[in-house]
């Protein structure tokens, strides 16, 4: 289906809304809310029209998209929870039987749940999935993050409040040296965003420019930029990864069309922060963040990780960026 150019932005906005609706229902295990009728209604479109537009924008049918997200979630569970039973996972993800999950898993990844459980190294998992899955042989992404929000840590430590990530620091950080892990209660944060589907890092600068031009033209007050990463590139192939390029909304009184808004819920967060130049490999910071979360016994929320660019203490003209890498954790 070909969409007229003048309608592209409006359709993209509606489909992003539907994707957000699907994500919320999957995260909350409200599988009964994932009917085509309900999803289309969330986008304020007819079922027939929505089904065609969704495939045109996303590249998958609604059913295939939901099925893939479930299977990717299952892969994360089987890799990180060696004790997880396929019957329990099938029930939690809405498969009619463990046999159906195993069959779908094999068809999608060309691996069995037992194959994934037998792996002990993330690189092995990523390499095998890229090699054998339906989306295999995709190029390695230049930017990724090493997270899986389905990890469970039993015996979580008590969390204490510390200085908020949004507050400044009186200390001078070392260049390219992320700070120790900090735990803080973050308030809810509304953002205006544009969703990108594809390899991490691709299109972010252009999307940021579009957002900035829009809020400037419409006199919408915004704060620090954010980049939200929805998928784990160790499991999701680069062409399917979802990235939201965002600006913090300080003024909710004006309509954001043709862009969408979302709210990052108030929650305890684990984060590391640092000042980085253009030579820094951001993958390293994501790895450090999640390694520290797990080492200190915290449990990540089933929510995406994101990074915040602190504009006031950054110097983009000289390639210096003050960035926080953040993940909500279970209270």
DSSP string, 46-100: -HHHHHHHHHHHHSS-HHHHHHHHHHHHHHHHHHH-TT--HHHHHHHHT-S-HHH
Q: Which of 51-65, 149-163, 221-235 has the lowest mean pLDDT?
A: 149-163
Is it the case that residue 71 has pLDDT exceeding 60?
A: yes
Residue 141 lies in a domain: no
Q: How confident is the model at residue 306 (pLDDT cuts 50, 70, 90)?
A: very high
Task: State the Cα–Cα distance between residues 184 and 82, nearest whole angstrom.
Answer: 30
Q: Domains in the chain: how many in total? A: 2
Residues 6+ apart with CB under 8 A from 289: 147, 178, 181, 270, 271, 272, 305, 325, 327
Which residue intervals of 235-319 are DSSP H helices? 282-295
Show the beta-strand stretches assigned E in 159-217.
182-186, 189-197
**Are β-strands 305-309 and 321-328 bridged in parallel, bridged antiparallel, or unpaired?**
antiparallel
Angle at 135 between CA 76 and CA 62, to 5 degrees: 80
Is it the case that residue 275 has pLDDT exceeding 50?
A: yes
The reported pLDDT for the residue numbered 157 is 25
Specify the higher pLDDT residue, 3 or 22: 22
Could you tell me the two tokens for 111? 């691996």
Residue 172 lies in a domain: no
> For residue 26, what are the domain limits?
5-132
pLDDT digits over 90-106, tens only? 888 888 888 989 999 99
Same domain, 189 and 324: yes
Same domain, 11 and 121: yes
Q: How confident is the model at residue 222 (pLDDT cuts 50, 70, 90)?
A: very high
pTM assigned to the model? 0.68
Choose among 3, 326, 33: nearest CA to 186.
326
Exposure string (b/e) for 157-166, b if CB count within 10 Å is 16 or more?
eebeeeeebe
Other CB atoms closer than 10 Å to residue 118's CB: what's the count?
A: 13
The reported pLDDT for the residue numbered 199 is 83
Last residue in a domain, options 116, 132, 148: 132
Q: Is the dihedral of CA 111, 143, 121, 270 positive or negative?
A: negative
Residue 139 lies in a domain: no
**How many whole angstroms from its chain centre is CA 6?**
28
Mean pLDDT over residues 317-321, rounded? 86
Is it the case that residue 191 has pLDDT exceeding 90?
A: yes
Is it the case that residue 132 has pLDDT exceeding 80?
A: no
The reported pLDDT for the residue numbered 267 is 93
Q: Count the residues in the chain.
A: 331
Residue 231 lies in a domain: yes
The reported pLDDT for the residue numbered 168 is 45
pLDDT digits over 137-154, tens only? 433 332 222 333 333 322
CATH number reported for the structural domain that contains residue 98 in this entry: 1.10.10.60
Q: Is the dihedral of CA 119, 109, 282, 329 positive or negative?
A: negative
Residues 6+ apart with CB under 8 A from 160: 183
Residue for token digits 């200085």? 163
Last residue in a domain, options 69, 103, 132: 132
Same domain, 305 and 197: yes
The reported pLDDT for the residue numbered 154 is 21
CATH number reported for the structural domain that contains residue 321 in this entry: 3.20.80.10
Same domain, 62 and 186: no
The reported pLDDT for the residue numbered 10 is 66
Same domain, 322 and 253: yes
Distances (CA, A) of 140 to 143, 232, 279: 9, 13, 19
Same domain, 115 and 205: no
Is it the case that residue 237 has pLDDT exceeding 50?
A: yes
pLDDT digits over 102-120, tens only? 999 999 998 899 988 888 7
């Amino acid at each position: 289906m070909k969409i007229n150019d003048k309608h592209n932005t409006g359709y993209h906005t509606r489909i992003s809304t539907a994707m957000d609706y699907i994500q919320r229902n999957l995260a909350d295990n409200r599988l009964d809310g994932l009917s085509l009728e309900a999803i289309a209604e969330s986008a304020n479109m007819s079922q027939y029209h929505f089904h065609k537009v969704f495939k045109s924008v996303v590249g998958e049918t609604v059913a295939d998209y939901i099925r893939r997200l479930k299977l990717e979630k299952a892969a994360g569970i089987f890799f990180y929870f060696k004790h997880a039973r396929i019957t329990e996972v099938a029930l939690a993800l809405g498969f009619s039987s463990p046999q159906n999950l195993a069959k779908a898993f094999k068809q999608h990844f060309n691996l069995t749940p037992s194959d994934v459980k037998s792996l002990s190294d993330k690189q092995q998992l990523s390499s095998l999935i890229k090699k054998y899955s339906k989306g295999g042989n995709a190029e390695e992404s230049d930017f990724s993050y090493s997270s899986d929000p389905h990890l469970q840590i039993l015996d979580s430590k008590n969390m204490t409040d510390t200085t908020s990530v949004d507050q400044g620091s009186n200390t001078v950080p070392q260049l390219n040296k992320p700070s120790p892990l900090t735990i803080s209660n973050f308030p809810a944060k509304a953002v205006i965003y544009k969703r990108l589907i594809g390899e991490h890092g691709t299109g972010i600068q252009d999307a940021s420019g579009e957002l900035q031009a829009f809020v400037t033209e419409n006199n919408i007050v915004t704060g620090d930029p954010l980049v939200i990463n929805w998928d784990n590139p160790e499991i999701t192939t680069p062409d399917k990864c979802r990235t939201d390029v965002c600006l913090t909304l300080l003024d909710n009184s004006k309509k954001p069309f043709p862009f969408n808004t979302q709210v990052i819920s108030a929650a305890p967060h684990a984060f590391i922060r640092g000042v980085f130049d253009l030579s820094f490999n951001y993958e390293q910071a994501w790895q450090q963040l999640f390694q520290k979360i797990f080492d200190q016994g915290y449990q990540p929320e089933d929510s995406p990780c994101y990074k915040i660019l602190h504009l006031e203490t950054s110097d983009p003209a000289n390639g210096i960026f003050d960035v926080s890498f953040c993940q909500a954790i279970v209270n």
